[in-house]
Chains A and B, each alone.
Chain A
């Protein structure tokens, strides 16, 4: 079956630092890939997605590129803000197999 592996957290950064959260997947074929964000006390929000190899998803300054060669979908942002503090989940497939989540804290 499908599986998703995310880099372990928590991740703590200073404001305006560069962010990378690694995500790799295993699957039969080429599943759609997603990044979801969960702010404290809330449900999950779709941050970005990619449906085929070499697609780049982007939203709110975050980007991730679907790399079939490395089966990866790493999340990046050039300059994080305090308001980006949240838990980030990588997910794959039509029935959303989730990674374990990465807690990001951004300090002023």
Chain B
């Protein structure tokens, strides 16, 4: 069983829609989660970083962590064509594992149509 599972998509939505991106994880020994955005042939860009259960909001982006169900989500409000990219979830800080070793999902490719 992979440690971080993410639906690869592709996901296509109209401009202005609310986008929901999701990941599940299998190992409870964690400390934190991250969401990255990666445009084609570019490096990943850190969007959100969260430690605990609950919601964290930053502009149009909301990250949600549910530790009881091992589920993490990223919501994008009022989506724009410029949001079209691949979104990567990652977890890290496993007890007993390497410090800083991030484990990534495969990414979900999002397309926002004007």
- A and B together in one complex: no
